[in-house]
């Protein structure tokens, strides 16, 4: 690695490519670009090999994501020592559009595509509560605490709307490291489904909140509360509808087009790969959020379209999306480590970073424990979320690619000093949570005594052979005066009705098989969110 860096130092190529040397020696410029790409490939190869070795030896103190971060840090440090930071930064210096157009779409689609319907729908009410209501609570609590900290000169002072934007982007969780350890240690299936499902839908909520706050800041500040709510619903519901609609169209196309024969396998795979990007670009073209759209397209395509493919095509598209999402997410973690070592960050506001971590922990607690309380109000005693699972859920709130990408965008959305401060804080928080929380997850899970709970007991109690879900009993006294509890029970009951509707009507309409056959292909516990998913989880 150091030899490559020394070679880069000797080339002395300007990053802009506009100097006299680059014009006189175009061959050297191409050679330097080739060495830069080679360096990136070497880091990706090293990251995957090191991750495999760590996973094979069950070394949980340095997860794969942490290893990728450290590789980026080491390469960045070597570049600084060799005085070649200008050239190397030019090869890594891309705008946030690169994240949103090339890196995040495969990661987010794979997240939705990897959701297994059986545990997901059996915990659907809880997952929606944590991901929608919980993310809103975490965003608001974080934003308010950061704003109050600025008022009392505890942290760097930001306007209230910008504090809410920071709260929204930093509430996007990405527990890829935790999920891979969950898989290795054998954690309860329901706990895994909650962490995984929340992290998937949480991204959609976080990016919708961020863009709503960004739009509010760019327009007149006199907008009332109802206009803000309407703008958020327009963004979120519109993007969701676009994604679901494209997913349903793809299901009908593959059901009736007769593509599941051997000589059309190439066409079948090409069309399947293009639909997610069609969904993304459609939402962006309509002024909505492509990330939200492609997420729900992945959920729908896995649940309906996937079963209409031939067996060979199923294996191919599963491996393909797993491949590109793994490459994209690994590159994101490498770049985050590289960015820490290379870029000029606003480290003068260390207090903002320190207290933001504390505020995020408080907000995460408000999210998890309040939502768990609401969920337990409507669940029967055998299916309630135990306190130790709530603590594990709170601890698993790492920050990752989505928070980093939104922070990168905030540099352009906010004034120079404010955006750079938020970007620096977010990058530091992502690195610290991945390295510290990811490395200590195994020890914490053993302390909480949730290791070795890999069983389908609670999950299987909620499933039967008729409609896939057994609703809890509603024979409790309705005159208790607890209207909130009764409303929550009605919502919980509606999820069971939706499952029955899906099994009896939607699945037969959009697929070539009935609902009983579909779940035979589902793996109840995929191995991780973007990096460890194997096959069609």
User: 55 pLDDT exceeds 90?
Assistant: no
**Predicted pLDDT at 459:** 36
Distances from the Cα of 89 to the Cαs of 15, 75, 327, 409, 488, in angstroms? 8, 11, 20, 18, 52
**Mean pLDDT of the region 430-453:** 79
Output 517 or 442, whichever has higher pLDDT: 442
At residue 65, the 3 state secondary structure works out as helix
Contact 149, 355 (CB under 8 A): yes
Q: 472-522, pLDDT tens digit by residue?
A: 443 444 444 456 556 555 555 555 666 777 778 888 888 886 545 544 444
Look up tokens 């056959």; give the residue.
Answer: 517
**Averaged pLDDT, 91-109:** 73
The pLDDT-based confidence of 317 (bands split at 50, 70, 90) is: very high
pLDDT of 87 higher than 70? no
Rounded CA-CA distance 514/502 in Å is 10
Longest dimension (CA), the chain: 86
pLDDT of 433 over the 60 cut: yes
Calculate the alpha carbon distances from 19 to 25, 92, 484 in Å. 10, 19, 68
Per-residue model confidence as pLDDT tens digits over 138-188: 999 999 999 999 999 888 899 999 999 999 999 988 766 677 677 767 777
At 489 the pLDDT is 56
Residue 9 has pLDDT above 50, yes or no: no
| 13: three-class secondary structure by DSSP | coil
How far is the C-alpha of 278 from the C-alpha of 194, rounded, in Å?
A: 29
In the prediction, which pLDDT does 407 show?
Answer: 87
Q: How far is CA 286 from CA 18, 102, 229, 241, 405, in A?
A: 37, 19, 19, 12, 21
Contact 342, 88 (CB under 8 A): yes
Whether the pLDDT of residue 45 is over 70: the answer is yes
Look at residue 509 in the predicted model and tell me its pLDDT. 87
pLDDT of residue 488: 56
Percent of the chain with pLDDT over 70: 73
Q: Measured in whole angstroms, how far is the alpha carbon of residue 420 from the centre of its chain?
A: 23
Stretch 371-378: mean pLDDT: 91
Could you give the domains of the chain?
Answer: 96-448 (1.20.1530.20)
pLDDT of residue 487: 56
**What span, in angstroms and rounded, lies between the C-alpha atoms of 534 and 40?**
24
Q: d(Cα 111, Cα 173) in Å, to the nearest integer? A: 12
- For range 435-454, the mean pLDDT: 76
Q: What is the pLDDT of residue 146?
A: 94
Q: What is the DSSP letter of 383?
A: G
More confident of the two residues 306 and 382 = 306
End-to-end CA distance of the chain: 36
User: Among 45-54, 252-261, 359-368, where is mean pLDDT lowest?
Assistant: 252-261
Mean pLDDT of 283-296: 89
At residue 223, the pLDDT reads 61
Spatial CB neighbours of 149, under 8 Å, sequence gap ≥ 6: 155, 355, 359
Is the model's pLDDT at 203 over the cut of 60? yes
Instruction: Please say if the pLDDT value at position 42 is more than 80.
Output: yes
What is the rounded distance in angstroms from the CA atom of residue 25 to the CA atom of residue 431? 39
Is the per-residue pLDDT at 237 higher than 50? Answer: yes
């Amino acid at each position: 690695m150091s030899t490559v860096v020394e070679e880069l130092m000797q080339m002395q190529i300007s990053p802009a490519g506009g100097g006299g040397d680059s014009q006189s020696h175009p061959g050297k410029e191409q050679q330097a670009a080739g060495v830069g790409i080679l360096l990136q490939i070497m880091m990706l190869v090293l990251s995957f090999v090191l991750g495999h070795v760590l996973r094979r030896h069950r070394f949980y103190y340095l997860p794969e994501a942490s290893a990728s971060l450290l590789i980026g840090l080491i390469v960045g440090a070597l570049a600084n020592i060799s005085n070649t930071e200008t050239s190397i930064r030019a090869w890594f210096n891309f705008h946030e559009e690169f994240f949103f157009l090339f890196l995040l779409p495969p990661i987010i689609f794979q997240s939705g595509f990897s959701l297994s319907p059986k545990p997901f729908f059996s915990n659907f009410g809880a997952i929606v509560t944590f991901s929608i209501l919980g993310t809103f609570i975490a965003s608001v609590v974080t934003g308010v605490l950061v704003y109050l900290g600025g008022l009392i000169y505890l942290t760097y002072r930001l306007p209230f709307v910008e504090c809410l934007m920071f709260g929204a982007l930093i509430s996007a969780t990405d527990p890829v490291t935790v999920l891979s350890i969950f898989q290795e240690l054998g954690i309860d299936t329901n706990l895994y489904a909650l962490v995984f499902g929340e992290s998937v839908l949480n991204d959609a909520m976080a990016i919708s909140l961020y863009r709503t706050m960004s739009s509010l800041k760019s327009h007149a500040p006199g907008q009332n509360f109802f206009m803000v709510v309407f703008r958020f619903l327009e963004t979120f519901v519109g993007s969701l509808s676009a994604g679901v609609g494209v997913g349903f169209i793809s299901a009908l196309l593959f059901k009736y087009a007769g593509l599941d024969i051997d000589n059309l396998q190439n066409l079948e795979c090409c069309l399947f790969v293009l639909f997610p990007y069609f969904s993304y670009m459609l939402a962006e073209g309509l002024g909505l959020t492509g990330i939200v759209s492609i997420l729900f397209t992945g959920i729908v395509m896995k649940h309906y379209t996937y079963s209409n493919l031939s067996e060979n095509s199923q294996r191919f598209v599963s491996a393909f999306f797993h491949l590109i999402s793994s490459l994209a997410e690994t590159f994101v973690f490498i770049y985050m480590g590289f960015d820490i070592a290379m870029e000029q960050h606003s480290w003068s506001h260390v207090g903002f970073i320190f207290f933001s971590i504390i505020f995020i922990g408080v907000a995460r607690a408000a999210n998890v424990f309040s939502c768990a309380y609401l969920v337990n109000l409507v669940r029967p005693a055998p299916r309630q979320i135990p306190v130790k699972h709530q603590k594990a859920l709170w601890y698993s709130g790492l920050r990752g690619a989505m928070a980093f990408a939104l922070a990168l965008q905030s540099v352009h959305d906010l004034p120079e000093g404010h955006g750079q401060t938020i970007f620096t804080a977010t990058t530091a928080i992502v690195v610290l949570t991945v390295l510290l929380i990811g490395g200590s997850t195994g020890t914490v899970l053993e302390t909480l005594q949730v290791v070795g709970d890999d069983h389908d007991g609670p999950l299987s109690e909620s499933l039967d052979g008729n409609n896939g879900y057994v609703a809890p009993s509603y024979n409790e006294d309705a005159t208790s005066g607890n209207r909130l509890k009764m409303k929550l029970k009605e919502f919980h009951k509606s999820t069971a009705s939706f499952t029955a509707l899906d099994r009896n009507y939607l699945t037969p309409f959009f697929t070539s098989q009935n609902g009983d056959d579909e779940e035979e292909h589902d793996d109840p516990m995929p191995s991780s969110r973007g990096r460890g998913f194997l096959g069609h989880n």
